[in-house]
Structure formats: C-alpha cells, structure tokens
Amino acid sequence: MKKQIILMTALCIGTFTACTTDADVLDESPSYVSFTPSLPMETSRATDTGFDNNDQIGVFAMRDNGYGEGGTVGASNYADNVPYKYVNYTEFTPMGSGIALPADGSKLYYYAVYPYFSGAGASFVFDVETDQSSGNNYSLSDLMTAYTTVSSAAESVHLNFSHRLSKVVVGMDNAGFEAYNFTLTDVYTRANANLNARTFTCTGSRGDVIMAGNGMNSFKAILPPQTFADGDQFGYMETNGEKYTITASGNIELHSGKVTAIVVRVDGGRGTEHFSAVQVR
C-alpha cells in the first residue's frame, strides 16, 4: 500500500510539471503589434474621409537605444517595411507574421509609409500615377508617412499620418464651359523621399497626369511639390468636343502636405477664348 501511494504522488508531480511547462510555452508566444491611424483634418487626405478597408502600409521598427532619442530608419532595423492592412475601419493588422514585440521587453520606435510598396527604405523614389482618374490610382498616389517620437512596448500603437505630396484642385470660373476631363502637362511625377530628413522633393523626368473627377467642373490630383512658372503651359481640358490649352497666370506653387486651389478663367469671346490658371489658395 505504501508503494502505491508513493507511485500516485510521483504521477501527480509529473502531471503538474507537464502542465506548467505547456503554460510557459503559451506565455512565451510573441505579441504582435497593431496600429490605429489618424489623418490631418485638411482635405488632402487620400479618400477625403480617411483610410479604406484593405489599405496597406509598410512599417519599420527600430530599437530604443536608451537615450530617449527618436528612432531613425537605418541599414539594419528591428523590422523592415513589414506590410500591414487596414481592417474594420479601425486598425492596421499584420498581413503575415507582423512585428513581434522583443522578448527582452525593450521598446520600439516606428515609421510607417502609405501606400505599401516593396521599394520603401530610409530613402526611396515614389511615382504618382499618371492616370489618376482610373480606379483607386488617385488614392495610391497620396504618399503619407507617420512616425513615433516616443518608443513603446505596447501591443497597440497610434500613428498620426501626414501627407507628403501636394493636392491640386482645379475648378472653372465660367459656368458656360463644362469640362469633361482635365490633364496637367509637363509635370514632375516622381518624388525623392528621405524618411529620416523628412524631405520630399520632385525629381526625374516630366510627363502628363490625368486628374480625377471632383464634382461638376472640378478636378483633383496628387503631385510632388513643384512650381509652374508664369506663362508656362499648365494643362488642357476637353469640353463640348473641343480641347483647350491652359497657361499659368502668375507662379503656381505646390508645397508638401498642402492643398493648392486653382481657378481656370476665360478671357475673350467664342472662338477667341484664352484660358488661364490662377492660384487662389
């Protein structure tokens, strides 16, 4: 009888040890970070309302070096351009494994880029779509970034996004002309982005950009920051089967993260019209 009691006690101890080991394994499973976004209140946001479900961002993570300094994207980061997807109009969640919090409890800084593309890094070139009237090409041209100034070991992190390119809105000053489409001509379509310096400048060759519709006689497009000089060709529009060229009246300056409002004015009578683009904001 005594031997049976000893044997049963040993079994119980073995069982308890096995259960404790399983629990430890579960506790050591990685915790993946998710992100809740916000956008500035200006009307230059991608969809004019916020992110859409299935929008994708790429996220970089950098370890806190212990000096309380903001993280910088380097050649070797804790996580490099990890894709996340927006779900339930609430948060960005991992599309794959995601970014796991360090097992040693150290904190992370984050830098995010919208839209996600594999070529993003500390510095990269970004091309806007040349036909922004088609599909979601307008939204995919809206380069945005967000970064955290304080490191965190939390599983849910807030990201405040900023627009890095310029939104152009063109409207007609004369209701007698109904424009069917509007094309910006000879514009820079490529931006040179530096995440750490937070600079976003135009570069490369030029081309034409077909603008997206923005209501009756109104159009919008996203471009890298640049300037149209007084007298330069600004674009052309098609209306009533005719194609009209528009020139810049005064310098038109596009700045990073800003909305530039343009009015097309008509001078002269039928057959002698002259169309000019004037910056009003």
- pLDDT for residue 205 is more than 90: yes
Query: In this structure, what is the dihedral angle of CA atoms 255, 256, 261, 267, given to the nearest 10 degrees?
Result: 40
Give the full edge-to-edge strand order of the sheet including 91-94: 156-160, 34-38, 91-94, 79-87, 56-63, 108-114, 144-147, 162-163
Tokens of 64: 């806190």
Q: How far apart are CA 197 and CA 195, in angstroms?
A: 6
Please give the structure tokens belonging to residue 216: 């009756």
210-258 tens-digit pLDDT: 999 998 899 999 999 999 999 999 999 998 778 999 999 999 999 999 9
Quick: pLDDT tens for 33-59. 999 999 876 554 555 668 889 999 999
pTM: 0.84
pLDDT score of 17 more than 50: no
User: Which of 100-109, 234-243, 269-278 has the highest mean predicted lDDT (pLDDT)?
Assistant: 100-109
Contacts 24+ apart (CB under 8 A), 46-50: 46/114, 46/138, 46/139, 46/142, 46/144, 47/139, 50/89
Q: Which residue has the tokens 């339930």?
A: 88
- Residue among 145, 236, 230 nearest 193 (CA): 145
Angstrom distance (rounded) from CA 20 to CA 63: 32
